[in-house]
Structure formats: structure tokens, C-alpha cells
Structure 1
Amino acid sequence: MTTDTLFKPVVRTVTYGVIGCGMMGQEHLRNIALLQGTRVGTIYEPDPLMRAEAARIAPEARMVDTLDELLADDDLDCLLIASPNFRHVEQLQAVAARKALPVLVEKPLFTDPEHSRAVAEFARSYPAPVWVAMEYRYMPPVARLLEQAEAATGGIRMLTIREHRFPFLRKVGDWNRFNRYTGGTFVEKCCHFFDLMRLALKSDPVRVMAMGGQAQNHQDEAYEGHVPDIFDHGYVIVEFASGMRAMLELCMFAEGARWQEEISAVGHRGKIEALVPGPGRFWPEHLGAPPVAQVIVSPREPKGPEVHEIPVDPTLLEAGDHNGSTFYQHQRFLEVVRGERPAPEVSIEDGRWAVLMGMAAQRSMIEGRAVELSEFDA
């Protein structure tokens, strides 16, 4: 498939206002640039280095010094919030106080259990659509698994997600080294996977049991005298209202693995797996071309795994670290902005559940007990 075949004719140009242009914000900018009928009008990014890089990617955008200046721009059609995790709630509230525009807000939606009530109130009162950026839904191999899971399994009875990856990268101010800013690794990193669990099993979680901790990463680092406290590994088991169970295994010191994500769904009819490589820029050159994602369908009768490669357009792989998913997510978000899709596919409620599941996992690890999701009721 060529890049040209990916682009859908547009009805009108959509102008984005962008809040935050660090590593993830820049990935968004590169993908917005690939979509016809879009432009970035205004950017608010306070860090000088990140601001300069954002200006290089989106040279026609106007740079402003405050969020208020950005929100004063009457030419904006929608907003992207890609600021550090702990800023999301306050910035959503600031947007609500000024103007009601469609918003694509990065995960996690919030980082403090006390914010759950504020998020629920925001969802009830904000009149424009809000899409929570759960990119992993839109990775082509993961999307294929979700599409075919029912037929391949006859109904999922067990769901397992494994991520073996590199440690957290450095970010502005090193905010991602501390639980108080990230919400904890199993909120910051793993809310994607908890979202996939709810989506695949079509049920809400009721109970979480988990074990994990900080075994390897960042222990020799210090920032203003504080040693990072983020976890780097763990196991999480989630029980759902439907009676189904799912498991997550995370290791953040396994960047030597061929596959970064491995998702397995099993039912009475068979098994389906999605194998997803990590970012191509981290693949060692001496090993040749990076691996291509796969979906494997393994029926019980007749036995015999069916391996399907799921290639992603090279232009999309170059634009970001998420297997093309950021591009596909923006395609659908733009359909909401243009009125071609009735509502976001990933709602505030979806984003809230994903965070609460991560918080329950963190609490279970720290307190050594099963945690009921009802403990976090808004």
C-alpha cells in the first residue's frame, strides 16, 4: 500500500491549536502534516528547545507564550493537548472556561485519583467532543486482532498482553521519572493496554491484583536530590464484570526483544495473536530491516497457525514511534471535527477507566492486596 492510498479527500481545512510539543507532541505534528486539509495554526510550548523543534516541523504555525494567547485565536477548529500528564486536567478546565472546541487529549487523562471527580464533571458539562488519545487501538496489527478476535476465538475467554520495551526516554524537566507527575508507570505507560482490555472484552473491570516494582531502571539517577520512583516491571491480572480475566506483563528493560508488544486472545475456537515491533529507529542496523508486524491465527481444528504480515506504510513509520497509529487516530478525529462521525471512538469515560485500572494496579503492588475498582468511584 502506498502513502497516496491512505489519504482521504477532505471537505474543508481544519486548523489545530496545539498545547505541548515535546516528544509526543512532535509526533502529532508530523502526522497532522501528512493529512490533507489540515494546518497547525497556533502552538503553545514553553520549553525553548521543544518550541524550536516544533517550529521546524510546523513552520507556518504561530508560537505563543501562554495558553490564554492560544485560546484567544478565533481561527482554531480543534485542539490537541500533548503536554505532560499532570497538566491535562487543568488545561482541559482552562479550555472549558474559554471556548468549546473539539479536543484530542493525550493519555493518561489524569494522574491523581482526586481528579476523577473533576474529569467526570468536565465530561458532563463540556459541550464539544473530546477524544482521548489511545493510539494502540489504531496500530494496524492490533486493529486487525480486534476485528478478527470474535471469529478466531469464538468469543475471548483469556486475554494476555505483554510489553517488553526500552526504559522511559528523557523528557523536558525529567517529569516522567516521578510518580507524582506521571501517575505511576502503570498509569502513564499501561493505560493503553487497560483500554484494549475493556475494548476487547466489552466489559468493565471490577478487581485488580498486581505485583511489580523498580528492579533495574533509573536507580543511579537523581534530580534535585530525588531518586526516580517509577516502576519498571510488573504483572497485572484484571477481573471484569462479565467474569472474564485479562493479564498484563510489563518489562521496561527488555529493548533487545524482537517484538515490543505481544497480544494473545484465546477462546473455544482458537487463538489470535498480534506481534508488534518497537520503533524502527531503535532497531540495530547490523540486523538488517526492522521486523514487520504479524497477526497469527491458530484454530484448534484444523490445527495449523496462519501467519499474516501486517506492513505499515514507511511514511507513517517515519512519522512516529507507534506503528502508524497516530496517523489513523487523527483521520478519525478529523471526521468528528468535520461532522462526518457522530462521536469520538475513545471517550472521556474510556480514558477515565483506563487511568483507574492503572491506579488500581499501582495500589495493589504497593499495598500487596487485591484492589476493587469501586474504591475509585467518582
Structure 2
Amino acid sequence: VRVGDRIRSLILRVSAETRGPQIFLSRAHPDFMKKLFAQEVPEIYDGIIEIKAAARDPGSRAKIGVISYDSSIDPVGACVGMRGSRVQAVVNELQGEKIDIIQWSEDEATFIVNALAPAEVSKVVMDEEDERVEVVVPDEQLSLAIGRRGQNVRLASQLTGWQIDIMTESQESERRQREFAERTALFQEALDVDEVIAQLLVTEGFAAVEDVAYVEPHEIASIEGFDEETADELQTRAREFLEKEAAELDAKRKALGVEDGVLAIEGVTLAMAVALGEGDVKTVEDLAGLVPDDMRGWFETKNGERVREPGILETFNLSPEDAEALIMRARVAMGWVEAPPEPEYEEVEGEFEGEGEEASVEEPAAEISSEEEAQG
């Protein structure tokens, strides 16, 4: 850019400096592309169509998610224009930057599938707690879904706000087979049964020894080829295995120096106590001094890449709320904070609609204020 050039750009901000106001301009910001579309597409300017999200790799490629508030107007078609005239005007202004126009959807899974266009998606598995999604694509679509140097999946991730992991159908199949084999081997060892019985349990949806030990007996007895006697024997073996495992874990906890008080915190299991000990969290005070990310893990950007740092209790898949609750209970036990008051209930007389019979129901007598909850 040279003095005297006539350019279009977005005013990011105006900063008052000692030498006078400084105007900061950008042609790389996603909002610049949005404004260009508003100039070229009357429906966007009028508010009939809205650009809900935008992501750019400036000078190379961009994606926008659009929605129409008039069912008779196709938002993608309106943005493309007759023979591509509208989008081409924006492309020309951005010096050839390719733009994918995508139908925005309130259903996040659908929007993620749309955002990965032109690749086809076979399956989507979402982890809402970590805002992470696993996308399965046909083998021949892998390179298209990832894009050159990961550009397509990176832009789709920016557009949707989800961390997207892509795998092929064959990779997913291999993983399912591996999980099936691992669970089969676990049941063979823990329950001392042959491979056929172990495979039947896995096929019926049993994923852990605890599932077998504490499920209703009829759920095992109803498996084809099993009976009540078989169910009782399997549950007995499962409980014996868990008792033995618990004894071994408790011995390991003590060897690591994890105090009994940690195990006394509601929600802390023996396996968690061992993991905490391996993470050098050995007292209630140590536990109280943690933050949820210490338990669950977190993301850091290193050399431009988003890297996952594992947490102490990474393998336990704790939700943010569960992690926070464990820490708060430890802080209460240490006396650092007061336990939140229990809600009081009172009985009131009432009638079920249409029944005409008197009934006793419970309603909370008082609510906890947001300030009290924050203090708790």
C-alpha cells in the first residue's frame, strides 16, 4: 500500500494518542468480509439474511455461515447471486480469496457437518463439556475434509467454535474392534469366563465389571443362553474381583502417602485417590488448592498449535461442575469457606389437577441468592 492508493478496509478502532487520534485499519479481519457482503447482498443489509459466523485464512480461503429469516429466500443462493455475481465481487475485492458459503443451523451437529463442506460426513460424536467433536468421514474424503495444510478443518473449527477431530470410517472401525477386544479380555480375566461369554456381555452393552456386578440380575439372565444361575455366578465373581481390586488400590494409596481425609471427601473414589497421589496431591489441603483445570486438563497454544495438557484426573472424564464440587468440598473440610446452606422445605396442601384428591407436596421455603452461592 502506497500513499495515494485508494483502498477499502475495516476500521477496527480509533485510539486517542498524544500525537493525535490513531485509526487502526484491517483487511484481514472476518468483519471486513461481512461488511463487503452487506454491500453486495441487499438482503443482508436489510436484515433478512444474517451472517452468523465467519472465519478467514486471509488471502487464501474463508467460510461464512448464513441464515435467512424469510423462508422463501435461500440464504446461500442470495449470497452467491446470479451466476455467482455477488460472491465474485467480494472475492475480487479480497484478491481471489475463495469463500465457502454455508447454511447456518441451530443444531450444532448439522452446522459442523455443513462447515466441513465440500467433504461428506458419515458420523458426528460430540463432547459438549469440552466443546470437542469427533467427525467420521469416508476414507476417500479424508484429505478433502482436512484440506490443504489442514485449512478446511481449521476454518470449520473457527467457524463453529468446536475443536474438530477427523477420522476415517476404517479408523473408527479399527477403534471399535480394539475396544471390543479390550473389553472382552477384561471380562475374561475379571470374571474367569471363556471368550464366548465375555463377547456376549460386551455385545449386550456391558462396558465395565461394575456394570455386571451391580445391574439387576434379570438383565444378565435375559441374555440368550444365560439363566438366573449364570447371572448370580457372574455377579458374584464380578463383586469378588472389585473387592480385590479395591484392596489393591487402597494399599497403593497408602504407599503413595495419600491421607484418609482425601478419600473421605465425597466423590473421591479409591482410583481417584491413587491418581491424585501420583499427581503429588496427598492431603485435603493439596486438593483444596487445585483448580478444575488441574484435574481435567487444559489447552495451550504452542508454536501456533492448540495442545492439550493432561490433568491429574484426566482419565475420569470429570465435568467442570464435578471438578469444582470436589475442590469446594475440600475447601469446606479445610475451613477455608463455609458449606452452602441446605435448602429448607415445608409441606403444603394441594390437589392434583383433575384428581380432586388432597395431596402433600414439597416446595422450597427459601432460595439461595447468587451472592451466597458465590460465597459457598
Same fold (TM over 0.5): no
- TM-score w.r.t. the length of structure 1 is 0.23
Whose helix proportion is higher, 1 or 2? 2
Higher relative contact order, structure no. (Cα contacts within 8 Å, ≥ 6 residues apart): 1
| Max Rg structure | 2
- TM-score w.r.t. the length of structure 2 is 0.23
